[in-house]
Structure 1
Amino acid sequence: HDVLALVESLTLVDVDALNDVLALVESLTLVDVDALNDVLILVESLMLVDVDTLSDVLVLVESLTLVDVDPLNDV
């Protein structure tokens, strides 16, 4: 929920692109560093992302052993 709260606080995120990122994250059963780097590269390619807030989201995502798919679907 903390991740979702931070994501929802971004007013400049392109929704379609965000859905692509969430689809990629949902495809991971376990989050590993290499996969997170791929997500970061994808997200950083979006012109309208607030980078500082994105870093906070990534820190929280890295702290999760398993990604809870249900809250991600709510975005």
Structure 2
Amino acid sequence: SLQKNESERLVLSDPLNDVLILVESLTLVDVDALNDVLALVESLTLVDVDPLNDVLALAESERLVLVDSLNDVLVLVESLTLVDVDALTDVLALNESERLALA
């Protein structure tokens, strides 16, 4: 049972790494955009309140958009972890029979 779990982890590790890289890239891109907005907010604090409210609304919408993107990635991660165990077992059995045939 432990060996089976380990092999499932190995099979899933490549797609999972791809997703984690995507998450990392999303957070890096989003942080830069958010920092730009926050810098703009900072520069507007000494000016008119109405434009400041517009910028704050933009910052909030930016955060909401980023959450949606991250949620999509998390759903993808979840679906990868729920890969059909029966199909995975079939692949592992085929792999084992290939090794025996070659030996």
TM-score range (shorter-chain normalised) is: 0.3 to 0.5
Higher relative contact order (CA 8 A, sep 6+): 1
TM-score, normalising length: structure 1: 0.39
Task: Answer 1 or 2: which has greater helix percent.
Answer: 2
TM value normalised by structure 2: 0.30
